[in-house]
Amino acid sequence: MELNLTGRTGHGTPDDFATLSVVMIDGDDLYVDNGAIHGKSRLERGVDFRTYTKPEDVPNGRKVKEVWVQLKSYETGRGYYGLVSAELVVNSEDMVGYKSMGALVMAMDGAIKGKFSLAHLTTEERAKFRNFLETFRADLWANTPEEIKGQL
């Protein structure tokens, strides 16, 4: 007998903003991938993160940024609340990489608590991220307090 508590198999992760979401920044590509909440983003699937203990040890690794995004209901409607970045290194060809689970969990926790830290993003990535937030869901951007927008 199989006991199915969720009524479905696996984790459904629609690529739209939920209360907590992850925006992946992979070079010029920015996209929502809520699978990252469970450590199973499209980029992470099949990658062995156990081999390397330091990011610089990953051969031909490229830095990929994750920005944890927490939404909040304001008087004007739902808007951005917590934004915290983290980083992982991936070699997609060899399917190996490095990620610090502790750092990713702390980033997630920070976003949930409404913190703002985009320390892992370059100036260019930060500008792309701001543009992404402005255009992906204009309603969320419109309802976001100016103090948060000003930090971007």
Kindly list the domain boundaries of the chain, sorted by start residue: 20-151
- Structure confidence at residue 135 (pLDDT): 95
Q: What mean pLDDT comes out for the span 62-70?
A: 97
- Structure confidence at residue 25 (pLDDT): 98
pLDDT exceeding 70 applies to what percent of the chain?
A: 88
Q: What mean pLDDT comes out for the span 45-72?
A: 96
- Structure confidence at residue 38 (pLDDT): 87
- Structure confidence at residue 17 (pLDDT): 60
pTM of the predicted model as reported, rounded to 2 decimal places: 0.86
Residue-wise pLDDT for 74-114, tens only, equals 999 999 999 999 999 999 999 999 999 999 999 999 999 99
- Sequential DSSP letters for 73-133: EETTEEEEEEEEEEEEEEETTTTEEEE-HHHHHHHHHHHHTT-EE-TTS-HHHHHHHHHHH
Token couple for 76:
């004007």
